[in-house]
A and B are shown apart, each in its own frame.
Chain A
C-alpha cells in the first residue's frame, strides 16, 4: 500500500488465530500507515472482529506478529498496547451498564497514553452526550451509546483507533453523524481502522481497503486503486482481474 514509504505505523504479519481448534485467521498480514484510514471489509465469519481484537491484545495469536511504531507488541497485554496508543472500540459497544456516561469515558483513560484528551475536548467532539454525562449508560439510545463507546476510546488518547462495526443497528442519520465525527478525526491526522458492512460508506470514509475472506486477506489496496466491482469480487471470493489474492 505504501511500498516506498516509511515503515508503516502498524505492521501485522502472518497472524494465525484459533478459537480452540477452529481457525479464524490464516496467515493474515496487514499494514496501516500513519495518518491514513483503512476500511476492513468482508462477509460475516471472515475474521474482521478477530483481527481487530488480536491487534488490540484481547485475543492471542498462535503465530505471527504485531508491530506498532517499531515495537513488537505481539505478546503485550491490552493495557500495554493502550498506553502505546492502540485502542479498540469493540463490536456491540460494550459500555459498562452500571456506570454513568462520564464514568464510562473516565474509565477509558485507565491506561491512557497521554492526557491529550481531557473530558472537555471529548465533549467538544460529542456535544450530544455532554448533556447526558450523569446518566447511566444503559439508559441512552443506540446512537448515543455508540458515541460514548468512541468517547471512551478517545479518553485513552489513541494514536491508532480501531472501530468495529459502529453502524450496527443504528439509523442512517445517526450513522452519518458518527461518520462525520470520524471525518473530523481523519482531517486532524488520526490513524483509523474501520470495520464496516456498508461498502459505499467504507470506501468513502477511507484511504485504504482490506477485504477479508474466510480468514484470509483477499484484497489490500488504496481505495483510489480499486473499483467497487473488484472489491465485491474479492468479498464473494470470485476471481477478478487486478485483485490481489
Chain B
C-alpha cells in the first residue's frame, strides 16, 4: 500500500508548492512582474524565522506574528523602491532587476549565515504524526503545511472576489490603463499586493525550513517548483496553482518510490508535458486572453 501513502504524501507536498507559488502567481497576474527573487525571499523568511526563534528561544511558529508583518513590509518597500521603478522601463527590466536581487540575496545570506544547511525549530509539531488506516503515516507538519496553503489560498480568493479592494485588484490586472482612468490608485495597490506576495513567500519558507533543511542557495530550487506549479495550474487561477502543486508533488513522490534519482526529473518532465499540450495551464483562468492592450484611438 505504499502507493497510496506516496500519493497522499505527494498531495500534501503539493500544498507546500502551492504556498510558495501563490505569491508568484499574484505578482505576475496583477503586476506582470516575473519575480526571479521569489524563492530567495522565501529562504529569507526561513532565515528570519531562525534568527527570531533562536533569539526568543521559541518554536518558529510563535515568531510568525512578528515575521509575517516584517515580510509584508519588505514587500512594500521592494515594490515601491525597486519593482515599481523597473516597470516604468518596460517589461524586461523587472526580470533583470529581480534576477539581480536574487543574486544579491543569495550572496548576502552566504556572507551573513555561511553555507551550512540549517533547520528551523518546529517544536512538538515537527515530530508529531498520525495514522490513517494501518499503513499510512501522515506527519502533522505536512498536514499543517497543506492546510495552511488551503487557508491562504481561500483567504486570497475571498479577498479578491468579495472585497472592494479585491475588485480593484482584478480590474487592474485586467486593464491597467483603464484602471487608472476610473480612479484606482495603482501604486498603493501594487505595494499591497507585493507585500502579500512576500509574506506568503516567507510563510512558505518557514515551512520549508521546518520540514527540511535550507541554505542560502535553496531559493533557486524553490523558485523552479513555484514557477512550474503556477504554469501547470494556469495563470490567473489560485486554485489552479494548488492543483499544479499537487500534480508536481504526486509525480515527485510516486516516481521517487520507484527510483529516488528520477523523482525530481519526473516532476520537471510533467511540467514540460503540460507546456507542450496545454500551454495555458490546466485551469486557464480569467486572464487567459493576456494580449497586450494598445491604447485605442490615440489619434482621435
Q: Which A residues form the contact surface with B (CB < 8 A)?
A: 19, 24, 44-50, 56, 58, 77-79, 82-83, 88, 90-92, 94, 96-99, 103-104, 106-108, 110-112, 152, 156, 164-165, 195
Interface centre among B170, B171, B180, B182 (most CB of A within 10 A): B182
Q: With a CB–CB cut-off of 8 A, which chain B residues contact A45?
A: 299-300
Q: Looking at the complex, which one of A48, A58, A165 makes contact with B180 (CB distance below 8 Å)?
A: A58
Q: A97: nearest residue on chain B (CB-CB)?
A: B174
Per the bound structure, the CA–CA distance linking A156 and B170 in Å amounts to 19
Given contacts A99-B167, A106-B164, contact A92 B296 (CB under 8 A): yes
Q: A100: nearest residue on chain B (CB-CB)?
A: B167
Query: Would you call A47 and B171 a contact (CB within 8 A)?
Result: no
> Can you name 5 extra interface pairs (CB under 8 A) apart from A103-B171, A106-B164?
A90-B181, A96-B171, A96-B175, A103-B167, A108-B182
Q: B166: nearest residue on chain A (CB-CB)?
A: A103
State the main secondary structure of chain B at its contact with A.
helix
Q: With a CB–CB cut-off of 8 A, which chain B residues contact A111?
A: 182-185
Per CB-CB distance, the 4 closest pairs between chain A and chain B, nearest first, are A49-B300, A111-B183, A98-B286, A79-B183
Per the bound structure, the CA–CA distance linking A6 and B299 in Å amounts to 33
Minimal beta-carbon separation of A183 from chain B (angstroms): 24
Contact with A along B87-118 (1 / 0, CB 8 A): 00000000000000000000000000000000
Number of B interface residues in the complex (CB < 8 A): 25
Q: B288: nearest residue on chain A (CB-CB)?
A: A98
Given contacts A94-B175, A111-B183, contact A19 B298 (CB under 8 A): yes
Query: Would you call A49 and B167 a contact (CB within 8 A)?
Result: no
Q: With a CB–CB cut-off of 8 A, which chain B residues contact A106?
A: 164, 167
Q: With a CB–CB cut-off of 8 A, which chain B residues contact A156?
A: 182-183
Per the bound structure, the CA–CA distance linking A48 and B13 in Å amounts to 57
Query: Would you call A99 and B170 a contact (CB within 8 A)?
Result: yes
Given contacts A47-B300, A92-B297, A98-B174, contact A58 B184 (CB under 8 A): no
Q: Looking at the complex, which one of B173, B182, B286, B298 makes contact with A49 (CB distance below 8 Å)?
A: B298
Interface centre among A49, A56, A103, A110 (most CB of B within 10 A): A110
What number of residue pairs across chains A and B have CB atoms under 8 A from each other?
99
Q: A103: nearest residue on chain B (CB-CB)?
A: B167
Query: Would you call B181 and A107 a contact (CB within 8 A)?
Result: no
Per the bound structure, the CA–CA distance linking A92 and B297 in Å amounts to 8
Per the bound structure, the CA–CA distance linking A65 and B276 in Å amounts to 54
Q: Looking at the complex, which one of B164, B177, B181, B298 makes contact with A50 (CB distance below 8 Å)?
A: B298
Q: Which B residues form the contact surface with A (CB < 8 A)?
A: 164, 167-168, 170-171, 173-175, 177-185, 286-287, 289, 296-300
A selection of 20 A-B contacts at a CB cut-off of 8 Å is A19-B298, A46-B300, A50-B298, A58-B177, A58-B180, A78-B181, A78-B182, A79-B180, A79-B184, A88-B181, A96-B179, A97-B174, A97-B175, A98-B170, A103-B170, A107-B182, A108-B183, A110-B168, A111-B182, A164-B300
Minimal beta-carbon separation of B171 from chain A (angstroms): 4
Interface centre among B171, B174, B178, B183 (most CB of A within 10 A): B183
Minimal beta-carbon separation of B108 from chain A (angstroms): 36
Given contacts A99-B167, A106-B167, A107-B167, contact A24 B181 (CB under 8 A): no
Query: Would you call A49 and B297 a contact (CB within 8 A)?
Result: yes
Q: With a CB–CB cut-off of 8 A, which chain A residues contact B177?
A: 58, 94
Q: With a CB–CB cut-off of 8 A, which chain A residues contact B289?
A: 97
Per the bound structure, the CA–CA distance linking A195 and B296 in Å amounts to 15
